[in-house]
A and B are shown apart, each in its own frame.
Chain A
Amino acid sequence: MPEPFVPETITVHLGRPDEPAENVTIPFPDYIKNVASSEIYPTWPESAIRANIYAQVSFALNRIYTEWYRSRGYPFDITNSTAYDQAFVFGRDIFDNIGSIVDELFNEYVVRGASVEPLFTQYCNGTTVTCEGLSQWGTVPLAEQGYSPYEILTHFYGDELSIRTAPVRAPFESYPGIPLRLGTSSNEVRTLQLRLNRISANYPAIPKVTVNGIFDQDTENAVRAFQRIFQLTEDGIVGKETWYRIQYVFASVKRLAELNSEGLSLEDVSLQYTEQLSEGMTGTPVRILQYMLAVVGAYYPEVPYLSNIDGVFGPQTRDAVIAFQRLRGLTPDGIVGRETWNALYNTYITIYQNQQEYFGGGIPLYPGTNLLLGSRGDAVTQLQRMINELATVYPEIPTLPETGFYGEMTRDAVIAAQNLFGLEPTGITNYLTWITIAQQAETIMTGRQTAPTQYPGTPVGPEGGGTNA
Chain B
Amino acid sequence: MPNQVSNGYLIVRTTASGGAIPVENSHVAVMSSAADAELLYQLTTDNSGLTQPVALPAPAIAESVSPGQPTPFYEYTVQITHPDYEQVVVTGVQMFPGITAVLPVNMIPARPHETEPRQVYDGSKQLPLSDGEEVK
Residues in A lying within 8 Å of B, measured CB to CB: 27, 30, 38-44, 59, 80, 82-87, 89-97, 99, 122-129, 131, 136-137, 140, 202-205, 229, 231, 248-249, 252-253, 255-256, 298-301, 350-351, 354-355, 358, 453
Residues of A within 8 A of B90 (CB): 91-93
| Interface residues contributed by chain B, number (CB under 8 Å) | 58
Query: What does the 1/0 interface line of B37-69 toward A look like (CB < 8 Å)?
Result: 000000000111010000000000100111110
Query: What does the 1/0 interface line of B84-127 toward A look like (CB < 8 Å)?
Result: 11000010111011111111111011111000000101110110
Q: Which of B48, B97, B132 contacts A229 (CB 8 A)?
A: B48
- Please determine whether A350 and B99 come into contact, CB atoms closer than 8 angstroms: no
Known: A91-B123, A351-B109. A299 touches B16 (CB 8 A): yes
Residues of B within 8 A of A204 (CB): 47
A-B pairs with beta carbons under 8 Å apart, 25 shown: A27-B18, A41-B64, A41-B65, A41-B96, A80-B126, A82-B134, A86-B136, A89-B125, A90-B121, A91-B105, A92-B92, A96-B102, A124-B136, A131-B134, A229-B22, A231-B11, A249-B19, A249-B20, A252-B17, A253-B20, A256-B21, A299-B16, A301-B106, A354-B111, A354-B112
- Please determine whether A43 and B61 come into contact, CB atoms closer than 8 angstroms: yes
Q: Is B130 an interface residue (CB 8 A)?
A: yes
Q: Is B36 an interface residue (CB 8 A)?
A: no
- Please determine whether A256 and B20 come into contact, CB atoms closer than 8 angstroms: yes
Q: Which of A39, A85, A354, A453 contacts B129 (CB 8 A)?
A: A39
- Please determine whether B108 and A300 come into contact, CB atoms closer than 8 angstroms: yes
- Please determine whether A205 and B129 come into contact, CB atoms closer than 8 angstroms: no
Residues of B within 8 A of A90 (CB): 121
Residues of B within 8 A of A205 (CB): 46-48
Known: A44-B65, A86-B136, A127-B68. A91 touches B121 (CB 8 A): yes
Residues of A within 8 A of B17 (CB): 252, 255-256, 298-299, 355, 358
How many Å from the CB of B135 to the closest CB on chain A?
6
Known: A249-B19, A354-B110. A39 touches B123 (CB 8 A): no
